[in-house]
Amino acid sequence: MLKNRKPYTNENGYTDSKLLSDEPENVQDIVFHWIANNIYPRKAPLHGITSYWIKHQLDHDTGVYLTNNQFKDAMMQSGYNPVNAKELNWEYCISRKSPLFDRRKTRKVIESWKKRRKI
């Protein structure tokens, strides 16, 4: 759900109101870079791929763990609005041709970025 135009989760008594801005700036930079280089937009929704699954790919590639709510916030800030904000795990209008779905390309992007940032 959205609360004050920000993602907010209240599911089975558990509240997740954390936002990406709760993380240090360097973590935010990593997340925005990863989204920009791994997810491409499209007009139609891609059903079956959710914020929960994508955030785990981010964690796998970068070592950055975010709550589902923080990841949803990052996606919104990157221009990806949910197909249905009432769902717990959001789907987006993203392309199957995104590097996210070709794990070899994703690893190359992350490695080159780490070299440039000397991580």
Is 99 within a domain? yes
Give pLDDT tens digits along the chain (119 positions).
888 899 998 877 888 899 999 999 999 999 999 999 999 999 999 999 999 999 999 999 899 999 999 999 999 999 999 999 999 999 999 999 999 988 666 566 666 666 666 65
Query: Is residue 119 included in any domain, yes or no?
Result: no
71 is in which domain, residue-wise? 2-114
* pTM for this model (two decimals): 0.85
- Domain presence at residue 109: yes
**Cβ-contact 93, 43 below 8 angstroms:** yes
**Any domain includes 96:** yes
Whether 7 maps to a domain, the answer reads: yes
Question: Is 93 a domain residue?
Answer: yes
Based on the structure, what is the number of domains in the chain?
Answer: 1
Examine residue 17 and state whether it is found in any structural domain, yes or no: yes
- Residue 28 maps to a domain: yes
* pLDDT one-digit tens code per residue, 53-70: 999 999 998 999 999 999
